[in-house]
Amino acid sequence: MAKYVYPAVFTPEKNGAFSVNFPDLEGCYTCGDNLEDGLEMAEDVLALVLYGYEKDHRLIPVPSRRNDLKVSGEEFVNYISCDTMAYRRKFNNKAVKKTLTIPEWMNEEAIALGLNFSQVLQDALLQKMHI
CA distance 47 to 53: 10
pLDDT digits (tens, 9 = 90+) for 1-25: 689 999 999 999 999 999 999 999 9
pLDDT band at 26 (very low <50, low <70, confident <90, very high): very high
Domains contained in the chain, CATH given: 3-91 (3.30.160.250), 95-131 (no CATH)
Asked whether the predicted pLDDT for residue 50 surpasses 80, the reply is yes
pTM of the model: 0.75
Q: Residue 23 and residue 68: Cα distance in Å, rounded?
A: 11
74: helix, strand or coil: coil
